[in-house]
Amino acid sequence: MTLTPEAQAEIDAQRARPRQTLRAVSEGMEAHLYSARPVLDHGFVRVIDYMGDDAAICQAARVSYGKGTKSVQNDEGLIRYLMRHWHSTPFEMCEVKLHVKLPVFVARQWIRHRTANVNEYSARYSILDREFYIPAPDALNAQSVVNNQGRGELLEGAEAARVLDWLKTDSMRAYDHYAAMISDEGQQGLARELARMNLPANIYTQWYWKVDLHNLFHFLRLRADAHAQYEIRVYADAICEMVADWVPFAYKAFEDYRLGSVTMSAQMMDCLRRMLKGEEVTAENSGMSKREWREFEGVLG
């Protein structure tokens, strides 16, 4: 990712002028503000604004007049309790606004998370940049043979080269024709809202995305998961790092009770209790389908 000198100058200008506020301030998040953290070959995530910090979660949970802080230890304990017992509304009291540059096919997955605010760069109104996602060699995988919606081994040799060549040349040709169609030199020039339909799903778009912390955690749990597509997971991973600096207690609780947690079904709990009593439990006497049993073995390591 390379920002234009103009974009970089605007970012530098924003970072150069601290102002005074009476609001809650998270030093960890101030350090991230406006900077563009690179993701994939041309994408980025940058924090535009945020509201609240760990103490604000406690303040709302207690509906208190002051900061809501009795002590730092107290705050961490309360936050962990809230997370563990699915008391989600205090986490909704923090909010973050991000500027994200991402391929269209990633944007199409991302937008499915409805409880968020979005302003996307308009290709009806403006001209898109000539920037396309081309996978790095270590992200160019074959279809998985066990999972219908996953990836398997890396592509190699001539096949990998052929795929990369097609992705690049088709993108470039599509963009050349896009540019030629909208040009008004010596012709009328096709409407932008029509011309954009020639562009493939690996072109980059941009948006402002604003979300509360509870819904962001829900997004991260699904998209930072090992089953998520790699190209959206890298965005989720980048955001995780920012959130860890913004609300460290809440993020740690999220790691322990969501990201690293396992949901055991009624059948799994039953088997578990039998196993702890020393009983031999097998796929056959578990009461689970083969697939569930495999998943059960997986989580027990």
Taking the complex as a whole, the smallest distance from the CB of residue 32 to a second copy amounts, in Å, to: 10
Taking the complex as a whole, the smallest distance from the CB of residue 243 to a second copy amounts, in Å, to: 16
Taking the complex as a whole, the smallest distance from the CB of residue 234 to a second copy amounts, in Å, to: 14
Taking the complex as a whole, the smallest distance from the CB of residue 284 to a second copy amounts, in Å, to: 18
Enumerate residues 6+ apart whose C-beta is below 8 A from 243: 96, 213, 216, 220, 250, 251, 254
Instruction: Indicate the residue among 71 and 86 with the shorter CB distance to a second copy.
Output: 86
Verify whether residue 192 is a known catalytic residue.
no
- Catalytic residue chosen out of the listed positions 15, 162, 223, 258: 223
Instruction: Indicate the residue among 122 and 285 with the shorter CB distance to a second copy.
Output: 122
- Buried b / exposed e over 199-235, threshold 16 CB at 10 Å, is bbebbbbbbebbbbbbbbbbbbebbbeeebeebbbbb
* Beta bridge pairs of residue 102: 205
Taking the complex as a whole, the smallest distance from the CB of residue 55 to a second copy amounts, in Å, to: 11
Long-range contacts of 56-60 (CB under 8 A, 24+ apart): 56/24, 56/93, 56/94, 57/82, 57/90, 57/91, 57/93, 57/94, 57/213, 57/247, 57/250, 58/90, 59/93, 60/89, 60/90, 60/93
CA distance 120 to 129: 14
Residues assigned a catalytic role: 223
